[in-house]
Structure 1
Amino acid sequence: MTVGNEFGVIRQLCLHRRRRDPSSHVPEHALAPVKESVFLPYISSHDEVRRILTAARSHNGRFIWASMLHTLILMLYRTGSRLGEAVRLRRRDVDLDRGILTIGRSKGRSRIVAIRADLVAALRGYAAERQRLVSDRQRWDPEAFFVRRDGSPLTIVSTSTAIRRLLRRLDIKPPDGRIGPRPYEIRHAFAVHRLTAWAKDGVDIHARLPVLSAYLGPQNVIGTEVYLKATPQLLELASDRFEQHLRSACPPR
């Protein structure tokens, strides 16, 4: 099964190379058949992510308040967490002294996620505002780390709705229908941007997939390999590196 899935990634790269060089060889699918997903997530550009975060700072919803929404989206993009995982975070799951998040059991397992100092600072700022909001509302302090404007625990439905409206307002998502980017795909943007940065730095992407897989938390590395074919830029970087490898491995006669 592992060989089959690795073969699927290699075949995707060969298919991409054939667009530029029709003589490129593409292995037959039957050599190691795997069921390849036809789904390709929408990958927000760095500029779109910045626009989303900027717009979140001025959000003024009935239940969703600006600082909370901005911090939540920033955390989603910086950690690749699922929306549900972020919403379900409890105060004790967010250890800002050690810079780690404890993600509860999701998709079969729990995990500990290390976070950078800039995200720690953002979460500290939100935590202080959260405490003031709960105190001002004279409510008991809920276990939930992310709370709504009235001090009650955040819900996945209200958060997803707020992010979708944000995407529509920025014309990143069409005004009607279910097509276009979804809140869940902020996670995909994190993964592809991380892989692309590694590729630009000359890192062996395939060797790093298990690291990314452990950080994102899918059942296995196979669930992460979809990101290898998510953007033309990433495929182009992989293709160029493969071509350079071939040239260095085959000296001119």
Structure 2
Amino acid sequence: MKLQEGIDVYIEARQSEGAPWMKGAQSLRSLCRSLGNMPLNRIRVNQIAPFLDGPHTSAATWYNKYCVLRQFFCYWKARNEIYGLPLPPPRRFPAQTFVPYVYSRTELRRLLVAAGITQRDLNSVIGPRTFRTLLLFLYGTGAGLSEAVQLERGDVDFRRRRITLRSSVARCTREIPIGSDLYEILLQYHRAHHQQEAIRDPQFFLTKDGAQIKASTASKTFQKVRKKAGVARYDGARYQPRMQDLRYTFAVHRLTAWFKNGADMGRMIPALSAYMGQHDLSASERYLRLTPERFRAQLNKLSPKRGKRRWRDDSELMRFLDSL
């Protein structure tokens, strides 16, 4: 079997499991371009090593590419197309240095004010009201940026006060309720922007020309707004606050508010994970690490990695999670 055929078959098998597996597919196709369409059983370690060690390759990228190649070669080894793994020795997974930014409520207000100023520019693709509403939507729902820009008008059920979100990563949809404040904000935006017959795109959030907003355009616009608002981080991190960090801010602010109000966190943490479209409850671990220090000890006791599984025995909670 040739490398190209092996890659095509393997990608199809992975994607048939329900995930797009885009980054893994990209790595394998890059491998084929590097080695050429040679027989699988002729590939050697001295050909794979230079591919993994490509120029400007970080430790994390090396590790991720290595994992993709290992899974690929193991797949074909199990099917007797190859008899060994043509891979160099593995390296330890690099320590995670990236820390998401959690906005304060004061910073959120400054961002909203700045959006109303910067987006009045005639050259701005996204209008001030649209961008402010988009920021409030991300903070009010914890949705990902890609989910927000893909949102269609038909996904917003004003009668039932529910929103349907589509995840391009997990290839699934989920329906979430929205509070009264966000409901009013979205309703006003809908009445102001969706009554024109000239609108050609079904998306909920639109550019000034009535077209779909691209995630890359929204991210670039946000950086302009952030600088105008004077929001920055000074902890030595490589990245300045991002639009995607509104998702983390949503989670951390909810956890903090629930704790202050004495909510049953054993019930609320899995509910938060389901609301945010996370199938693995261990994903909540990252939000617990970002909560204020004074709540950390108590919240850590509820960490999914601590083996606490009391929520599984709560039939009422499980019915609620199934309904999301």
The answer to which structure, 1 or 2, has the higher relative contact order (CA under 8 A, 6+ apart) is: 1
Residue 83 (structure 1) aligns with:
145
TM-score by length of 2: 0.57
- Relative to structure 1, the CA distance from residue 40 to residue 141 in structure 2 (aligned partners, 3 Å threshold; closer, same or farther) is same
Partner secondary structure for residue 111 of structure 1: strand
- What are the ranges of 5 or more consecutive residues in structure 2 without an aligned counterpart? 1-93, 302-324
**Within 5 A, what are the aligned runs for 1:61-100?**
61=121, 62-100=124-162
Partners of 1:127 and 1:53 in 2: CA distance: 19
Contact 1:107/1:219, CA 8 A, preserved across alignment:
no
Residue 105 (structure 2) aligns with:
46
- Relative to structure 1, the CA distance from residue 211 to residue 159 in structure 2 (aligned partners, 3 Å threshold; closer, same or farther) is same
Partners of 1:205 and 1:38 in 2: CA distance: 28
Residue by residue over 1:113-150, the C-alpha shift from the partner in whole angstroms, topping out at 9 and shown as x without a partner, is 11011111111111112125x44xxx343211111001
Select 1:223's aligned residue among 276, 283, 286. Answer: 283
**Within 5 A, what are the aligned runs for 1:1-253?**
37-58=96-117, 59-61=119-121, 62-108=124-170, 109-132=172-195, 134-135=196-197, 139-173=198-232, 179-231=239-291, 233=292, 235-239=293-297
Letter of the aligned partner of 2:180 in structure 1?
A
Larger CA deviation: 109-118 vs 139-148: 139-148
Contact 1:107/1:218, CA 8 A, preserved across alignment:
no
Partner secondary structure for residue 244 of structure 2: helix
- What are the ranges of 5 or more consecutive residues in structure 1 without an aligned counterpart? 1-34, 244-253
Residue by residue over 1:26-68, the C-alpha shift from the partner in whole angstroms, topping out at 9 and shown as x without a partner, is xxxxxxxxx9854321100111111112222332242110111
Letter of the aligned partner of 2:162 in structure 1?
I
Contact 1:163/1:183, CA 8 A, preserved across alignment:
yes
Contact 1:94/1:102, CA 8 A, preserved across alignment:
yes
Cα RMSD over matched residues?
A: 2.5
Per-residue deviation, 1:104:
1.4
Per-residue deviation, 1:160:
1.0
Letter of the aligned partner of 1:78 in structure 2?
G
Letter of the aligned partner of 2:290 in structure 1?
A
Per-residue deviation, 1:169:
1.4
Letter of the aligned partner of 2:200 in structure 1?
D
- Relative to structure 1, the CA distance from residue 152 to residue 241 in structure 2 (aligned partners, 3 Å threshold; closer, same or farther) is closer
Partners of 1:220 and 1:242 in 2: CA distance: 17
Partners of 2:190 and 2:148 in 1: CA distance: 14
Contact 2:163/2:177, CA 8 A, preserved across alignment:
yes
Count the aligned residue pairs: 202
Partners of 2:299 and 2:219 in 1: CA distance: 38
